[in-house]
Every structure is written in C-alpha cells, then in structure tokens.
C-alpha cells in the first residue's frame, strides 16, 4: 500500500525518478517538466521542504527494500562459494568471490591521467 502525500503527482514522480538516478535534471524531465527549465526546476524542488521530507521517507523505504535483495544475493553467493569449494571449482569460486568483493565495495577504480611533462611511472627509469 502506497503512502498518501499532499504533493502533486508531478512532484511525486520527480522524487521517484530522482531516487533511481540522483540526476535532478533527468528526473524533472521524466516527471514531465520542460526540458528547457528542468535543471532550474530540479534545483527548486530539491530545496523545497515538503519535497525533501517526502524524499527522505521514500528513499529510506527504497534503501530498506534493496537491502533485502542485497542480502539474498549475498546469501546465494555464499552458498555458491561453499559448493565451489566442495567441488574444487576454482574458476567459479574466483568469480563468486570477485562478485562478493564488488558488492562489498572492495574495489576502487583509479584513473591515471598522464601529461607530457609528467611520467606515468615517476619512480621507474
């Protein structure tokens, strides 16, 4: 059962879209606001006390719902890891552990930008 809110349907739609992408401009456009003024509208909506309050309520529910899914996925991956260990299936074991590490945020992507006057590996050479 969905909560009742005093906000207009467009504002509710904006909040729902914003929760999915955290892109205010795109959320405003998907909610039916003009593409020309979407950035400005998004900024105003995100500063509005009623919209912020409704966002907090809906985002908390969204996080709770998705946490349950995450727990189920991790539970299945744990079972798969155990089965791979029993069967000595190293290929799938490594893949399962890799997926678990990604879900736990163990991997951080680093981007290195090289310039002409700066060597890529300054200690080598």
pTM over 0.85: no
- Tens digits of residue pLDDT in 11-38: 999 999 999 889 999 999 999 999 999 9
Q: How many independent structural domains does the chain possess?
A: 1
Residue 62 tokens, joined: 């969204």
Distance CA 83, CA 63 (A): 30
- Tens digits of residue pLDDT in 89-105: 999 989 888 888 887 77
Cα of 6 vs its chain's centroid, Å? 27
Residue 21 lies in domain: 9-103
CATH number for 83:
1.10.10.1400
Let me know if residue 31 belongs to a domain. yes
């Amino acid at each position: 059962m969905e909560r009742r809110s005093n906000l207009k349907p467009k504002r509710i739609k904006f909040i729902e879209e914003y929760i999915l992408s955290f892109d205010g401009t795109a959320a405003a456009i998907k909610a039916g606001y003009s593409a020309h003024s979407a950035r400005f509208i998004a900024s105003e909506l995100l500063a509005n006390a009623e919209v912020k309050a409704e966002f907090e309520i809906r985002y908390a529910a969204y996080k709770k719902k998705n946490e349950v899914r995450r727990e189920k996925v991790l539970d299945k991956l744990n079972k798969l890891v155990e089965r791979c260990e029993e069967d000595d299936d190293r290929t799938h074991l490594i893949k399962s552990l890799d997926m678990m590490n990604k879900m736990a945020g163990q991997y951080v992507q680093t981007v290195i930008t090289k310039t002409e006057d700066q060597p890529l590996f300054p200690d080598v050479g």
